[in-house]
């Protein structure tokens, strides 16, 4: 049976990959699905860096389906918790590729950390044996990230800069509001693309049918104006107290 690593490019799958290499475990192929321009530039560069560090006998395959991504966005709009069509493209493409290449089955290694053990309960087809090395080794998310840093992988500070430690697609509406706000305040070039995506999506950015990219922009702008005004008033009161003292 061939040992296949499903590689997202995040801290957990990266830690799992290089820990397996260090332990001398058999790795026959690494498979990564790319969402193209929806992924962070730092992630693209990280994956290139990973490929450079791999032993020459390990095959690294990058899959994508840009046409399907574009057509499904036009058809469904922004994904929702009940319709994660983007994940569907990824799973279908990877599974189709592996079933065709390994018709007798294979062993799939997934980078799920020990503190996310609930994610290991997903059901898989009978021809696939699934293993979770980080869970078996008791490696948490924090330990996986620390290990990656020790190996020289830092995603150019992406994990440290983001409010929450998730580096999936930057345009994902399912990410936390803090990350969406950070996109507006710190990556306005991508925010402008997100506005164009909202124009092309027949559903709102959030599932509540009222929260759009534009309404969030107004909210973030208003919050910034309020904080600026509050800070100005606080400074004026401080100067006044100092003057009368």
Q: CB atoms < 10 A from the CB of 156, how many?
A: 15
Q: What is the mean pLDDT of residues 107-127?
A: 82
Same domain, 69 and 129: yes
The answer as to whether 192 is a domain residue is yes
Same domain, 25 and 140: yes
The share of the chain scoring above pLDDT 70, in percent, equals: 91
Residue 126: predicted pLDDT: 58
- For residue 57, give the CATH number of its domain: 3.40.50.620
What average pLDDT does the structure give for the chain? 91
The answer as to whether 127 is a domain residue is yes
Task: Answer with the one of 116, 132, 162 that is the final residue of a domain.
Answer: 162
Residue 10: predicted pLDDT: 96
The answer as to whether 171 is a domain residue is no
The answer as to whether 136 is a domain residue is yes
Same domain, 62 and 145: yes
Same domain, 149 and 74: yes
Answer yes or no: pTM beyond 0.95.
no
Residue 132 has pLDDT above 80, yes or no: yes
Q: What is the pLDDT of residues 46-87, one digit of tens each?
A: 999 999 999 999 999 999 999 999 999 999 999 998 899 999
Same domain, 44 and 152: yes
Q: Is 106 helix (H, G, I), strand (E, B) or coil?
A: strand
Same domain, 135 and 208: no
Same domain, 41 and 102: yes
**Structural domain boundaries, residue 197:** 182-244
Cα distance between residue 54 and residue 112, in whole Å: 21
Same domain, 147 and 188: no
Cα distance between residue 140 and residue 96, in whole Å: 31
- Which residues, 6+ apart, have CB-to-CB distance to 34 below 8 Å? 44, 62, 63, 64
The share of the chain scoring above pLDDT 90, in percent, equals: 79
Q: What is the pLDDT of residues 194-238, one digit of tens each?
A: 999 999 999 999 988 899 999 999 999 998 886 776 666 566 656
Q: How many domains does the chain have?
A: 2
Same domain, 127 and 40: yes
Same domain, 143 and 48: yes
Q: Are 125 and 96 in contact (CB under 8 A)?
A: no
Residue 232: predicted pLDDT: 64
Cα distance between residue 30 and residue 206, in whole Å: 34
Same domain, 116 and 187: no
């Amino acid at each position: 049976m061939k040992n296949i690593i499903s590689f997202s490019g995040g801290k957990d799958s990266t830690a799992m990959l290089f820990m397996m290499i260090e332990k001398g475990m058999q790795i026959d192929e690494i498979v990564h699905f790319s969402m193209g321009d929806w992924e962070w530039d730092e992630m693209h560069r990280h994956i290139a860096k990973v490929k450079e560090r791999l032993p020459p006998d390990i095959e690294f395959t990058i899959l994508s389906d840009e046409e399907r991504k574009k057509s499904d966005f036009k058809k469904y709009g922004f994904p929702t918790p009940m319709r994660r069509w983007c994940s569907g493209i990824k799973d279908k493409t990877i599974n189709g590729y592996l079933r065709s290449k390994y018709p007798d089955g294979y062993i799939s290694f997934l980078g799920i950390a020990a503190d996310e053990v609930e994610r290991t309960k997903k059901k898989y087809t009978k021809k696939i044996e699934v293993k979770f090395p980080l869970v078996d080794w008791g490696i948490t998310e924090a330990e996986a990230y620390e290990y990656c840093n020790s190996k020289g992988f830092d995603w150019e500070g992406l994990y440290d800069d983001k409010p929450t430690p998730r580096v999936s697609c930057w345009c994902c509406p399912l990410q936390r509001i803090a990350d969406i706000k950070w996109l507006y305040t710190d990556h306005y070039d991508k925010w402008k693309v997100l506005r164009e995506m909202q124009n092309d999506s027949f559903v709102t950015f959030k599932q509540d049918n009222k929260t759009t990219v534009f309404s969030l922009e107004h909210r973030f702008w208003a919050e910034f104006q309020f904080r600026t005004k509050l800070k100005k008033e606080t400074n004026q009161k401080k100067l006044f107290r100092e003057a009368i003292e």
